[in-house]
Structures are given as structure tokens and as C-alpha cells.
Amino acid sequence: MMRVGHGFDAHRLVEGRALVLGGVRIAFERGALGHSDGDALAHALADALLGAAALEDLGTRFPAGDARWKDADSLELLAQCASAVRAAGFTIVNVDATIVVEQPRLAPFIDRMRANVAARLAVALDAVGVKAKTSEGMGYTGDGAGLAVHAVALLERRSTDEGRAAGH
Ligand code: MG
């Protein structure tokens, strides 16, 4: 059985914060405001994975305001979500994401983001898609106020017997 999941995240871009996407620290004059490291790519991918398995979402698992997740490495949170999905009896087939931001230009960093995500999800590099788009100056992603990430994930239940053993 195949399961598809969707994730979305948006963060404000503010001065005095590092810009981290897919675990890659990107030199830019502003970074994502957030309780964790503000890695919106990791957050959207995590929600896509959790959503595909109908598990509780990222914000429920790792509540903002909980001191344990202050400045947390979001790739580590993503890895924990992948473990939860596997524990529920699923294999990760692939994930794909689109980052929407006007600046900075992300093309030079995409391959490193994909490699980081693939490593933390324990999947092949060709199972991780990451693209960057602008919104042509329109809206909060276009005027520089913030960035957004859309993501999908495809899961496959390993086998009926394993799924049953996992309580599904
Ligand atoms: Mg977030």
C-alpha cells in the first residue's frame, strides 16, 4: 500500500539569525525566525512524512516553546520523524520539496541540501528532490518578508505482516 503526505512551512526572515535550509548554513544578511534553527525545508519534509503515515505532526511532537527544542538541529528532528514513520511499518519511497524565496539564490546549495536530507532519512540521494523557486516578487515570499516550503512524501507499507506487527 502506498501513502502520500504533504507538508508546508513558512518562516519570517529577520536580521540576526542564520539562514539554514536542509542543514546547509547559507551566507545571507537575514535568517529564519524560529524556536528551532528555523530550517523550513526540514520542517516541511517532516510534516510530509508524518502526514503520509497519519502520525501527529511536527509541532505536536516538538512544541515551539519547549526549551528542549530551542535552537534545535531540525535535521535531527527530521531523522526522528523518519524513525517514527518506519516504526509505524512504512518504508520511505521518496520525498520532494519546493523552497519559495526571492533571495538568496539557492541553486549552489541544492545538492548539499539533498545529500543532508538523504543521509538523515537513510534513503538514496535520488529519492530526495529539492527545488527553489521565486514567486516573482509577489506576496510575503516575493517581498523578502519570509520564505515558504512545500513538500510531499511517498511511503510504502513494508508488508502486511510487518504492518500488523506494528499495530496497523
Ligand atoms: Mg518551521
Give per-residue pLDDT as tens, 76-134.
999 999 999 999 999 999 999 999 999 999 999 999 999 999 999 999 999 999 999 99
* CA–centroid distance, residue 30 to ligand 1 (Å): 16
User: What range defines the domain where residue 21 resides?
Assistant: 2-165
Using DSSP's 3-state secondary structure scheme, residue 26 falls into strand
Q: Extract the C-alpha cell encoding 124.
A: 538514496
The alpha carbon of 39 and the centre of ligand 1 are apart by a number of angstroms equal to 6
pLDDT at res. 117: 98
For residue 72, the model assigns a pLDDT of 85
Q: What is the pTM of this model?
A: 0.93
81/104 Cα distance (integer angstroms):
28
pLDDT surpassing 70 at residue 3: yes
Q: Which of 153, 149, 139 is nearest to 8 (CA)?
A: 149
**Are residues 78 and 113 in contact, defined by beta-carbon separation less than 8 angstroms?**
no
CATH number of the domain at 13, please: 3.30.1330.50
Kindly give the distance from the C-alpha atom of residue 66 to the centroid of ligand 1, in angstroms, as a whole number.
Answer: 14
Under a CB-based contact definition with an 8 Å cutoff, are residues 33 and 52 in contact? Answer: no
Count of H-run helices and E-run strands, the chain:
6, 7
d(CA 131, ligand 1 centre) in Å: 18
Instruction: Give the distance (Å) from ligand 1 centre to CA of residue 69.
Output: 12
Q: What DSSP line would sit under 10-38, residue for residue?
A: EEEEEETS-EEETTEEE--SEEE--SS--
CA of 60 to the centre of ligand 1 (A): 12
- Total domain count for the chain? 1
Q: Which residue has the higher pLDDT, 65 or 54?
A: 54
Q: How far is the CA of 162 from the centre of ligand 1 (A)?
A: 32
CA–centroid distance, residue 163 to ligand 1 (Å): 30
Task: Choose among 108, 86, 105: nearest CA to 155.
Answer: 86
